[in-house]
Homo-oligomer: A and B are copies of this chain.
Amino acid sequence: MSQQAQYYIGIDGGGTKCKALLKDSCGHILGEAIAGSANPASNLELAKESIVEAAQLTLQQANLPRSTIKSLHAGIGLAGVNLPKTRLKMEHWSHPFASMLITTDLHIACLGAHNGADGAIIISGTGSSAVAVKNNQHFEIGGHGFTAGDKGSGAWIGLTAVRASLEAMDGLAPTSNLVDSIKDYLKCSTAIEVAEIVNGCGATFYAGFAPLVFEAVRQQDPIALDIVLNGADYLSRIARRLLSNQSMRLSLIGGLASQITPWLDDDVKEQLSPPLCSPDFGAVLLIEQQQLLSVS
């Protein structure tokens, strides 16, 4: 059998979508594609299907046959595999690739942000989490989920705003325009109506209130300012912890990054650098580095 061409695919899988990036061994980008949800902690089989589908879509773009999938070396970063049980299930997958490396979505985002070099990232989107990567070791903090963690995230900001609004509507704390905008958003006039809608809702629902909070911050709303400062303080403490006793590149990424950055402590803001590449790019870097190590 003749020596087959080598291809590298980077996969960035999360709850809403699965991105894939295909490169050849010379570093040329051959295809980019997006498939459906790929969070193995929520739905293991769907995650595997989405990964394969995203990979096949990139092969199609590159005019390569579907069977090329068995020549792909896959670097796969996934939400949910920070949970040891979920990670184990993914690693036991009888996958269709030539080789596969599973890591967290955080890890590939960090590799991407610093183009494969050591560095640290903080993510503030629907959830929040952070990682520092140094000498191939990664140190993760935060990211403990909507109920008990994820402070400084969109979901936490929204939940905290709803809590504060309910207290204000009960006459237990001063009210503000933010309270009115939350009532308008939910089309409610009483606390009990708000409670009836919001109870049992999850992270994505609560993250929907974050834009109202940032809009209120622009109007100097005291409740909104208090919430955002409290969330930003948490992210500042994470930044200091990641950089403690070491000098490394640090990026803040995720949907809230640009809005929350002005509220970080000054010493943290000074340390921030913009992300260089995307997480799927980081996933390719991961598998390329691994392959280089295995043949050297």
A170-B141, A170-B142 given; A148·B195 CB < 8 A = yes
A241 to chain B, nearest CB (A): 5
In the bound complex, do residue A195 and residue B144 qualify as a contact, i.e. CB atoms below 8 Å apart?
Answer: yes
Hey, what's the 0/1 contact readout for A126-155 against B, CB within 8 Å counting as 1? 000000000000001111111111010000
In the bound complex, do residue A144 and residue B191 qualify as a contact, i.e. CB atoms below 8 Å apart?
Answer: yes
- Chain B residues whose C-beta falls within 8 Å of the C-beta of A140 in the assembled complex: 192
Number of interface residues of A (CB under 8 A): 37
Complex-state Cα separation, A200 to B195, whole angstroms:
19
In the bound complex, do residue A163 and residue B148 qualify as a contact, i.e. CB atoms below 8 Å apart?
Answer: yes
A147-B198, A201-B147 given; A173·B237 CB < 8 A = yes
Which residues of A199-242 are within 8 A (CB) of B?
Answer: 199-201, 234, 237-238, 241
Answer whether residue A65 sits at the interface, using C-beta atoms and an 8 A cutoff: no
- Chain B residues whose C-beta falls within 8 Å of the C-beta of A172 in the assembled complex: 141-142, 234, 237-238, 241
Answer whether residue A187 sits at the interface, using C-beta atoms and an 8 A cutoff: no
Complex-state Cα separation, A147 to B200, whole angstroms:
7
- Partner-contacting stretch, out of A82-90, A265-273, A274-282: A82-90
Complex-state Cα separation, A147 to B146, whole angstroms:
10
Which residues of A37-79 are within 8 A (CB) of B?
Answer: none
Contact of A149 among B145, B166, B237, B241 (CB under 8 A): B166
Contact of A147 among B149, B173, B199 (CB under 8 A): B199
In the bound complex, do residue B145 and residue A195 qualify as a contact, i.e. CB atoms below 8 Å apart?
Answer: yes
A275 to chain B, nearest CB (A): 23
Complex-state Cα separation, A148 to B144, whole angstroms:
18
Give the number of copies in the complex. 2
- Chain B residues whose C-beta falls within 8 Å of the C-beta of A83 in the assembled complex: 192, 196
Complex-state Cα separation, A132 to B54, whole angstroms:
59
- Chain B residues whose C-beta falls within 8 Å of the C-beta of A143 in the assembled complex: 195
- Chain B residues whose C-beta falls within 8 Å of the C-beta of A85 in the assembled complex: 196
In the bound complex, do residue B82 and residue A199 qualify as a contact, i.e. CB atoms below 8 Å apart?
Answer: no
- Chain B residues whose C-beta falls within 8 Å of the C-beta of A145 in the assembled complex: 195, 198-200
A238 to chain B, nearest CB (A): 6
Answer whether residue A20 sits at the interface, using C-beta atoms and an 8 A cutoff: no
In the bound complex, do residue A170 and residue B241 qualify as a contact, i.e. CB atoms below 8 Å apart?
Answer: yes
A142 to chain B, nearest CB (A): 6
Complex-state Cα separation, A141 to B159, whole angstroms:
19
In the bound complex, do residue B237 and residue A192 qualify as a contact, i.e. CB atoms below 8 Å apart?
Answer: no
Complex-state Cα separation, A5 to B73, whole angstroms:
84
- Chain B residues whose C-beta falls within 8 Å of the C-beta of A196 in the assembled complex: 83-85
Chain B residue nearest in CB terms to A141: B170
Complex-state Cα separation, A27 to B238, whole angstroms:
64
Nearest 5 CB-CB pairings of A with B = A144-B195, A145-B199, A141-B170, A172-B237, A148-B162
